[in-house]
């Protein structure tokens, strides 16, 4: 899909990958609708991109209202689902409210947004859906079980949608049709780790800048890629996990502790 002139709805646009994606897509000529919880930060991103602002906390039921306002203002050509929250620690220490909120923000809200925005794309016969997941959703991560589960759900949701929507050329999109892209980042240099309650302290792998993920998202939409790993070498552990899960788990138990 050509991004120049396309109307793109970005969730989680007030910081991290979402903010970087907004800047990248704006530079490519996209018209933006920006959603996020931090209204001050969101206004700053909007000032730099010329985007429309739709403040929303995706855990409190405002997702329907945000989608409705976006559609009323004009067609949405692309959804980029960046919003996400994390929590790190043994599962028994997690509160029920924290688990519910993470599931709502990371997974349920984007399922609902897709349900509300997809009919317009189907009517026009074109559009693109992008879901920012995580390598945690592919291989699992110690003491991040709920986060990993939400990202795995997002990946399964994207894969299932590909069978349901009329696709264009290639696996993701291209030409007429609805593109579906799953983005699988590894460690990204954003406030995510501080907010999850445990900073990232490993020397390797080194965090990648959010701008690198943003560029990958833009290229995926323009070229119709179905799946993108950032950095690309993450495909290797993903493939090893799929081909030899027992061996992968043994290695993860040995080397996977913080």
Q: How, if at all, do strands 177-185 and 52-55 pair?
A: unpaired
pLDDT for residue 170: 46
- Check if 147 is active-site: yes
Per-residue pLDDT, averaged over 243-248, amounts to 84
Spot the catalytic one: 147, 163, 200, 229: 147
| Residue recorded with tokens 């509160």 | 95
Contacts of 122 by beta carbon, 8 Å cutoff, 6+ apart: 165, 166, 178
Element (H, E) at 183: strand 177-185
Q: For residue range 143-175, what is the model confidence (pLDDT) as tens digits? A: 999 999 999 999 999 999 999 998 755 445 445
Per the CB < 8 A criterion, the answer to whether 132 and 81 are in contact is yes
pLDDT for residue 258: 45
Domains of the chain as residue ranges with CATH: 7-255 (3.40.50.720)
Among 91, 153, 134, 142, CA closest to 251? 142
Please give the Cα distance from 88 to 189 (Å, whole number): 17
What's the sign of the alpha-carbon dihedral 201, 147, 51, 174?
positive
Per-residue tokens: 120: 């317009």
- Please state which of the ranges 33-37, 130-134, 227-231, 237-241 shows the lowest mean pLDDT: 237-241
Residue 70: CB atoms within 10 Å? 22
User: Which is more confident, 249 or 74?
Assistant: 249
pLDDT for residue 249: 81
Rg of the chain on CA atoms, in Å: 18
pLDDT for residue 172: 55
What's the sign of the alpha-carbon dihedral 169, 13, 132, 248?
positive
| The pLDDT of residue 53 is above 70 | yes
């Amino acid at each position: 899909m050509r991004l120049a002139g396309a109307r793109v709805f970005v969730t989680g646009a007030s910081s991290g990958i979402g903010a970087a994606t907004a800047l990248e897509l704006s530079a490519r000529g996209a018209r933006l609708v920006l959603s996020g919880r931090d209204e001050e930060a969101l206004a700053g991103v909007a000032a730099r991109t010329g985007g429309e602002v739709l403040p929303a906390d995706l855990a409190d039921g405002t997702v329907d209202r945000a989608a409705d306002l976006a559609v009323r203002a004009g067609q949405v050509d692309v959804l980029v689902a960046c919003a996400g929250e994390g929590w790190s620690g043994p599962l028994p220490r997690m509160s029920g409210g924290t688990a519910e909120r993470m599931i709502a923000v990371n997974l349920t809200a984007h399922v609902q947004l897709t349900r509300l925005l997809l009919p317009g794309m189907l009517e026009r016969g074109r559009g693109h859906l992008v879901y920012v997941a995580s390598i945690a959703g592919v291989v699992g991560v110690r003491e991040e079980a709920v986060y990993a589960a939400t990202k795995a759900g997002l990946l399964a949701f994207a894969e299932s949608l590909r069978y349901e929507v009329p696709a264009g050329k290639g696996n993701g999109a291209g030409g007429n049709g609805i593109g579906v892209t799953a983005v699988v980042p590894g460690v990204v240099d954003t406030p995510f780790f501080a907010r999850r309650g445990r900073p990232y302290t490993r020397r390797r792998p080194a965090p990648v800048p959010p701008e690198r993920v943003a560029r990958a998202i833009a290229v995926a939409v323009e070229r119709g890629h179905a799946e993108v790993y950032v950095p690309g070498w993450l495909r290797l552990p993903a493939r090893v996990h799929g081909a030899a899960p027992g061996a992968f788990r043994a290695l993860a138990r040995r080397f996977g502790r913080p």
